[in-house]
Structure 1
Amino acid sequence: MAAGSERDAERTPQGGTVEQAKEACLRLLAVRARSRAELAQRLAAKGYTADITDRALDRLAEVGLIDDAAFAEQWVHSRHTFSGKGKQALAQELRRKGVAQVDAAPALEAITFDDEAARATDLVRRKLRTLPRDLDRDKTIRRLVGMLARRGYSQSTAFAVVKAELADRNLPDPDLN
């Protein structure tokens, strides 16, 4: 049997071969890491059958190219460090990407309360530089807490960080002395 005939033996009427599905996955993985569910979704959109998709993804998982736990760890680290996302937002993003809770939990637990508070403090300090100085204190609190909430920080963390930062800023103005 020729090499081409061997591939055709795996071909299904609706989709391509396992080899073609693996190649499509490799092209997607070359751009960025992806979860197994994301790859399955992309292969389904390209017309690959569930059987071909499962076989291709199983093979890629066997060789370590697909690992949802490692993906979750990398995603959480990257999005927390560079985008300032809180645990709640990261958990939601991982769910949307099809990462199972069992794979997502260890990655999310790697972010400690102190890590989250430090990142939130940095975000608040950056935002305070752009807010008008004469803005009412209550409006300032609402804007800062809202900004943190949209990034996935818990309400208690957001309020604690904002209150602490505003208390630090309420030092007497040296120009008035």
Structure 2
Amino acid sequence: MSEARDLLRDHDLELDEVERLLARFQSLGYLDDTLLAEQLVHVGSDRKGQGRRVIAQTMTKRGIPREVADAVLAELPDDDDERALEFARTKAKSMASLDRDTALRRLTGQLARRGYGGAVAMTAARAALDEVQKPSTGVRFR
């Protein structure tokens, strides 16, 4: 509703007219902060592989009230470890040619930018790289 309020204010409407329009839109079901928050959680976690922290920041930026954001985030399964590992697996394949330290640093950074905490990001990055970077056998020429 915050975004709609800001948009209406940009059109030089009187404050009471803005509030009247918002009330009307809300009564018609056009504006619902809870539905928007649920959609942001779905997109953030399922499509983008984001962690709770980034999803919460997105909701704050979009003007979702804190109590609504907290309630919707509370319904999110506590599977950050699994989602972080799933994301790390998709990225680790493209880093197979890098040395382990570089790949670990880059992958951990990508996970951190998606809102996963340091320990979760590091554990997921290590596990994904372990799966991709198998020990070499035989002689290697450079």
TM > 0.5 fold call:
yes
1:125 alignment counterpart = 89
Q: 4+ runs of 1 displaced by more than 6 Å?
A: none
| Identity within the alignment, % | 32
d(CA) in 1 for partners of 2:108, 2:74: 23
2:62 alignment counterpart = 97
d(CA) in 2 for partners of 1:117, 1:172: 25
2:53 alignment counterpart = 88
For residue 66 of structure 1, report the CA deviation from its aligned partner. Answer: 1.3
The SS at the match of 1:113 is coil
**Any conservation in 1 of the 2:104–2:125 contact (CA below 8 Å)?**
yes
The Cα offsets for residues 94-143 of structure 1, whole Å up to 9 and x where unpaired, read as: 101110111111222232232x222222221121121242x222221111
> Are residues 69 and 86 of structure 1, via their aligned partners in 2, closer, same or farther at CA, if it must alter by over 3 Å?
same
1:136 aligns with 2:99: yes
Q: What one-letter code is carried by the residue in structure 1 that aligns with 2:121?
A: A
Where do 1:1-177 residues align within 5 Å? 36-114=1-79, 116-133=80-97, 135-169=98-132, 171-173=134-136, 176=138
Structure exhibiting the larger radius of gyration computed from Cα positions = 1
RMSD of equivalent CA atoms: 1.9
For residue 161 of structure 1, report the CA deviation from its aligned partner. Answer: 1.0
> Are residues 83 and 170 of structure 1, via their aligned partners in 2, closer, same or farther at CA, if it must alter by over 3 Å?
closer
Q: Which has the higher contact order (CA 8 A, sep 6+)?
A: 2
The Cα offsets for residues 71-107 of structure 1, whole Å up to 9 and x where unpaired, read as: 1011111222112221111111110111011111122
TM (norm. structure 1) is: 0.70
Consecutive unaligned residues of structure 2, counting only runs of 5 or more, are none
